[in-house]
Amino acid sequence: MLKSQHQSDKNFQTVSLVEQAIALGAKSPLELDKVLRHMGLEPRLVNPFLATKVSYLGHTYLYLPIQISDDPGGRRSIYFLNTSEEAPTGFIIPLQDDSDQILVRWIERISGNGKAKTGDQYIERIRYLSGEVLAECKCELEVLDEEKGLGRFKQMAAPFATITPFGRVWIGWSLILIEW
Question: How confident is the model at residue 156, as a pLDDT?
Answer: 74
> How far apart, in whole angstroms, are the C-alpha atoms of residue 93 and residue 79?
24
Phi, psi of 88, rounded to the nearest 5 degrees: -75, 135
Spans of the chain below 50 pLDDT: 1-12, 158-161, 180
Residue ranges making up the domain that contains 132: 44-179
Sort residue 172 into left (φ over 0), alpha (ψ -120 to 50) or beta.
Answer: left
98 with 132, same domain? Answer: yes
* pTM (predicted TM-score): 0.78
Domain end residue (candidates: 43, 58, 76): 43
pLDDT of residue 119: 94
Note the pLDDT of residue 176.
Answer: 64
Q: What is the predicted pLDDT for the residue at 14?
A: 58
Q: Domain check: are 32 and 82 in the same one?
A: no
User: What is the predicted pLDDT for the residue at 43?
Assistant: 83
Residues 6 and 64 both lie in one domain = no
By three-state DSSP, how is residue 97 classified? Answer: coil
Say yes or no: 111 and 170 in one domain: yes
Nearest alpha carbon to residue 171 among 71, 65, 57 = 65
* Euclidean distance between CA atoms 108 and 114, whole angstroms: 14
Predicted confidence at residue 136, as pLDDT, reads: 86
Asked if 147 and 172 sit in the same domain, the reply is yes
Query: Does residue 155 sit in the same domain as residue 174?
Result: yes
Cα gap 178→169, rounded to integer Å:
6
Number of domains present in the structure of the chain = 2
Same-domain check for residues 14 and 69: no
Burial of 121 (0-12, 13-18, 19+ CB in 10 A): middle
Residues 94 and 25 in one domain: no
Is 158 in the same domain as 144?
yes
